Amino acid sequence: MTELGKQLAATTTPIEGMLLFDLPVHGDARGWFKENWQREKMVALGLPDFGPVQNNVSFNAEAGVTRGLHAEPWDKWVSVATGRVFGAWVDLREGPGFGTVFTAELDPSRAIFVPRGVANGFQTLEPATAYTYLVNDHWSPDATYSFVNLADETVAIPWPIALDAAEISDKDRAHPPLADAASVPPKRILVVGAGGQLGRALRAELGDAPHIEYATRADLDLADPALGTARRWRDYGAIVNAAAHTAVDAAETAEGRVEAWAANAAGVAALARLATANDLTLVHVSTDYVFDGTSARPYREDDPLSPLGVYGQTKAAGDAIVGTVPRHYIVRTSWVIGDGGNFVRTMASLAERGVDPSVVDDQVGRLTFAADLARGIRHLLDTRAAYGVYNLTGAGEPRSWAQIAARVFELTGHDPARVTPVSTEEYFAGADRAIAPRPRSSVLDLARIEAAGFTPPDADESLVRYLAAGDGAAR
């Protein structure tokens, strides 16, 4: 008998991410009505906004029909339209929860959210039972499944109707025991731009687990019309875009302008289409160059964009595109230092070779070390922080380029007075190439990333570690 008049409510289960819902069912002499799935109300109670794309109905003529246990590579919203079922679920995802079991009876007043990788099974308790489920991927013969046997003694599911008296397919009877069941790996994460300094830092941070993939331009052409079918994108959970055209001055030339727009806007648009179509999280790295540098206070995430040059304009366009993706992180940073050639290494080399440089003293900001930036990106993904824009730079007192150069000289045992501060105009006077305009203030407000639980390290402390390490790793 379906219970009428329940309040909509969600209950956690021993299986991580799986939620059991009570559904309000309204009835009278004519029958009953319910909202079987209501996105706004249910998301407010903790249901992931899982974006279903297919609805399936399994009609079961008799009591005792038993199906499962199947773990598919998609999330499911399971409910009953008529009748009753005994539901059983076994976590087959990699990790400490592997093998965790949960059972519950479902009728029209109860539903359950089953995360990807949790094996699902049921047994009908009444004739003419209609079992329904929404899934957030289309069925595909190319999808990878995992299974566990209905009668496995390890999981010990207390089926109400003995399995030797139940109606079960030969295929379901042949599923392996838990000891032999294939664990379901996490969704894949793809790092685009893996050959750059941030890409290399992300590899060091995320590692080489099978579900982490790294792609250079040679591996993945974002301009390829067949990009949408290049991989089974529904198997991915996130794309981290560490690729960009960062040659700021070259972007002011005719050829460089085309390359900057292609990489920083058109390429980003291709990733945004992929992410939107496949419910992926898109992580996009932005820059202080989207601002004109005239603010008297640190720039906040919601400040209007006002880029000065082509590079900043293309990055601002990329930010606007990524902002349309439902699941996105725009990570805005400045003055990135990683392995390979960079300002800090150049200054250290000049100090060692006895060269006394003139360095710009009217551009102020904070260094950001690539390893710290990679850790911050991982934090956003791991904690599933609220989507949106996050500033992420080194913390501490802002400095000019000249002050940072002097500090590098000091930390490497040389006289910081050898660094001569000059204005931007003086530094570039007589240049025989295109020079991009630079923001004079690149200081970004870090309150939002800190509120999300990530504390950026002090930039000067990271500089000390970077120089002490000597191998380009700020740890």
175 and 324 together in one domain: no
* Whether 133 is catalytic: yes
165 and 257 together in one domain: no
Whether residue 203 lies inside any domain: the answer is yes
253 and 387 together in one domain: yes
Whether residue 107 lies inside any domain: the answer is yes
pLDDT in tens, 339-354: 888 999 999 999 999 9
246 and 156 together in one domain: no
pLDDT in tens, 379-416: 999 999 999 999 999 999 999 999 999 999 999 999 99
Q: What's the confidence (pLDDT) of residue 472?
A: 42
Q: Considering the chain, what is the average pLDDT of its residues?
A: 94
Rounded-to-integer distance, Cα 382 and Cα 408, Å: 34
* Whether 70 is catalytic: yes
256 and 351 together in one domain: yes
302 and 399 together in one domain: yes
Whether the ω angle into residue 4 lies within 30 degrees of 0, i.e. cis, is no
In which band, very low, low, confident or very high, does the pLDDT at 1 lie, cut at 50, 70 and 90? Answer: low
Mean pLDDT over residues 284-288, rounded? 97
Whether residue 120 lies inside any domain: the answer is yes
Q: What's the confidence (pLDDT) of residue 473?
A: 42
68 and 167 together in one domain: yes
Token pair 């999981």: residue: 155
Mean pLDDT over residues 116-131, rounded? 97
99 and 60 together in one domain: yes
Whether residue 474 lies inside any domain: the answer is no
Inter-CA distances, 25 with 34, 38, 76, 107, Å: 5, 13, 21, 11
417 and 291 together in one domain: yes
Whether residue 302 lies inside any domain: the answer is yes
Q: Supply the range of the domain harboring residue 14.
A: 9-180
Buried b (16+ CB within 10 A) or exposed e, 34-70: bebbeeeebeeeebeebebeeeeeeebeebbbbbbbb
What's the total number of domains in the chain?
2
377 and 459 together in one domain: yes
Whether residue 475 lies inside any domain: the answer is no
Degrees, nearest 5: CA angle 347-349-354 = 95
> Which CATH number fits the domain that encloses residue 263?
3.40.50.720
Last residue of a domain, one of 145, 161, 180: 180
Last residue of a domain, one of 149, 180, 211: 180
Inter-CA distances, 257 with 192, 246, 268, 319, Å: 21, 11, 16, 18
- Output phi, psi for 358, to 5 deg: -100, 130
Q: Which of 131, 133, 390, 427 is catalytic?
A: 133
147 and 45 together in one domain: yes
Q: What's the confidence (pLDDT) of residue 474?
A: 40
291 and 432 together in one domain: yes
Whether residue 56 lies inside any domain: the answer is yes
Mean pLDDT over residues 15-37, rounded? 94
In which band, very low, low, confident or very high, does the pLDDT at 470 lie, cut at 50, 70 and 90? Answer: confident
Last residue of a domain, one of 180, 204, 221: 180
